[in-house]
A = this chain, B = another copy of it.
Amino acid sequence: MVTIKERHQVLDWLVNNLMSPEALAHPLATRDFSADDWAYVVEGVPHEYRPLLWRSLLPASQPAILCAMRDDARKHLLAELASDEVNELLALSSADQLLVLYEQLPSKLARQVISELPKQARSSVKDALSYHEDQLGRYVNHDVVTVLPQTLVADVLLDLKQRQLPPYTDVLVVMDEQERYLGLASLDALFSASRKVAVSEVMMSEVGILPNVSLLDASNRVKASGLSMLPVVDEQGILLGRFSLRDSLDVMQEHYEEQLSHMGNVSDEDLFAPVAISARRRAVWLGINLATAFLASAVIGLFEAVLVQVVALAVLMPIVASMGGITGSQTLTLTIRGLATGQLSAANLTPLANKELRVAAINAVLWAAVVGVVAAWWFGNGWLAFIIILALVVNMLVAVVSGIVIPVILNRVGIDPALAGSVILTTVTDVVGFFVFLGSATLLFL
């Protein structure tokens, strides 16, 4: 296995040399790189050099590498390859690999490739495609070792002697002749048992995971089970395959990276996405943000008269907006995490709001007082200090309520709160902050 430092060195070497005319004269292909290692390196190479690097990789290893890449980077690479190359690649891919690549293939091509699969693989791929991208049924692993309940432990052990176990196999799956799932027999239990008993004697019961649960729920189930894998079993009790702890880890990483991207106002983007694609995607976020910024401007526009009279208001405006925004984002972040883990539900929403309001009230009073003193000293105007204190306290309390209500509503209507939460929240705190601040100034000063 390659260490992470070695990965890094290879990537650095490649990037430096792809930039120079020496190109790919490195004995890299002979290195003991896994598909994961290669995926890491390919993603770290600027877009325009990826096809060059890609063509130097062994064709037989390409499907696994492509599957190990991020969705977005995979899509961009596929778009760069000639259709011959893509066809060759797909011909070398297994049915499970085709399922991973499916969403990033042109739909016509994807359908064609699947229609050319052998009958059994085709039907299992079609079953998988009947599930959504986010559902477990889409990515069930069929590489599972099964045993019949009446088989003797001695015979199971004899059989294990002949075959190679797939990775992350610490249990065998017990099913009957009708492929109905019955339970699990751990390798440990099989070892320790008398050779003369039947598998059913050492079997433990463990609920299988339904194929229609989300990948994230399935991952949590595997994590909680204490096993390296769990069986996937349909509503009729038929064994479909398995889902491993390693799969869970991949799902969780992808989930968290998506959340982080969303909080940073990007889609889960390839580091070296093509400029045109990247520009188009980000334009969407910037456009939404601009619309909300115009809303804030419109609110300020309502109070032009007082701004002309008291220019200090314009100077202090960013403080009202920014303190409201930060307070709201703190509560929003906790609420989003609570909703994601499931620890937040109807029952403890009120206690949470209660606690958050008290926390915000303490900070609102504290920081509003600081700002008030500074404003009074800076502009020598006690009334100005009074209205900024008022605006800060109101805005920070509204921010807390928004930080809970917005993600809960988004969650209920099926929108990822990490995606839209902070844009909506900032709009609320900007509008409320400016309105209270400039509105009370209008009442006082005009």
A residues apposed to B, CB below 8 Å: 1-4, 7-8, 11-12, 15-16, 19, 34, 36-37, 40, 43-47, 157, 160-165, 167-170, 187-188, 191-192, 206-207, 217, 220-221, 223-228, 245-246, 248-249, 252-253, 256-257, 259-261, 263-266, 269, 271-273, 275, 278-279, 282-283, 285-287, 289-290, 292-294, 296-297, 300-301, 304, 307-308, 311-319, 321-323, 326-327, 329-330, 332-334, 336-338, 341-348, 351-352, 355, 358-359, 362-363, 366-367, 370-371, 374, 378, 418, 430
Distance to closest chain B CB from A411 (angstroms): 14
Interface centre among A46, A168, A272, A318 (most CB of B within 10 A): A318
With A12-B345, A44-B343, A297-B318 as known contacts, state yes or no: A167 contacts B227, CB within 8 Å: yes
Distance to closest chain B CB from A168 (angstroms): 6
Chain B residues whose C-beta falls within 8 Å of the C-beta of A327 in the assembled complex: 282, 286
For the complex, what is the distance from the CA of A283 to the CA of B349, rounded to whole Å?
23
A318 close to B296 (CB less than 8 A): yes
With A275-B358, A275-B362 as known contacts, state yes or no: A8 contacts B164, CB within 8 Å: no
A1 close to B207 (CB less than 8 A): yes
Interface centre among A36, A46, A326 (most CB of B within 10 A): A326
Interface centre among A16, A253, A300, A351 (most CB of B within 10 A): A351
Q: Lowest 3 CB-CB distances: which A-B pairs, in order?
A: A264-B333, A256-B256, A314-B314
Distance to closest chain B CB from A269 (angstroms): 6
A297 close to B271 (CB less than 8 A): no
Chain B residues whose C-beta falls within 8 Å of the C-beta of A15 in the assembled complex: 347-348, 351
With A318-B321, A334-B269, A345-B8 as known contacts, state yes or no: A169 contacts B170, CB within 8 Å: yes
For the complex, what is the distance from the CA of A422 to the CA of B304, rounded to whole Å?
31
Chain A contact residues, majority secondary structure: helix
Copies in the complex: 2
Chain B residues whose C-beta falls within 8 Å of the C-beta of A217 in the assembled complex: 4
Distance to closest chain B CB from A296 (angstroms): 5
Distance to closest chain B CB from A342 (angstroms): 5
Chain B residues whose C-beta falls within 8 Å of the C-beta of A206 in the assembled complex: 1
A293 close to B323 (CB less than 8 A): yes
Chain B residues whose C-beta falls within 8 Å of the C-beta of A374 in the assembled complex: 294
Chain B residues whose C-beta falls within 8 Å of the C-beta of A347 in the assembled complex: 11-12, 15-16
Given contacts A45-B348, A318-B318, 20 further A-B contacts (CB under 8 A): A1-B224, A4-B217, A46-B348, A157-B191, A160-B192, A161-B191, A162-B192, A169-B170, A256-B260, A265-B326, A271-B337, A272-B351, A272-B352, A278-B355, A292-B322, A293-B318, A293-B322, A297-B315, A304-B314, A318-B321
For the complex, what is the distance from the CA of A179 to the CA of B346, rounded to whole Å?
54
A315 close to B334 (CB less than 8 A): no
B355 close to A323 (CB less than 8 A): no
For the complex, what is the distance from the CA of A286 to the CA of B332, rounded to whole Å?
15
For the complex, what is the distance from the CA of A294 to the CA of B213, rounded to whole Å?
49
A4 close to B279 (CB less than 8 A): no
Would you give 12 A-B contacts (Cβ < 8 Å), ordered by A? A164-B188, A170-B228, A223-B249, A256-B256, A271-B338, A271-B343, A275-B355, A282-B359, A286-B323, A296-B318, A314-B314, A317-B318
Chain B residues whose C-beta falls within 8 Å of the C-beta of A275 in the assembled complex: 355, 358-359, 362
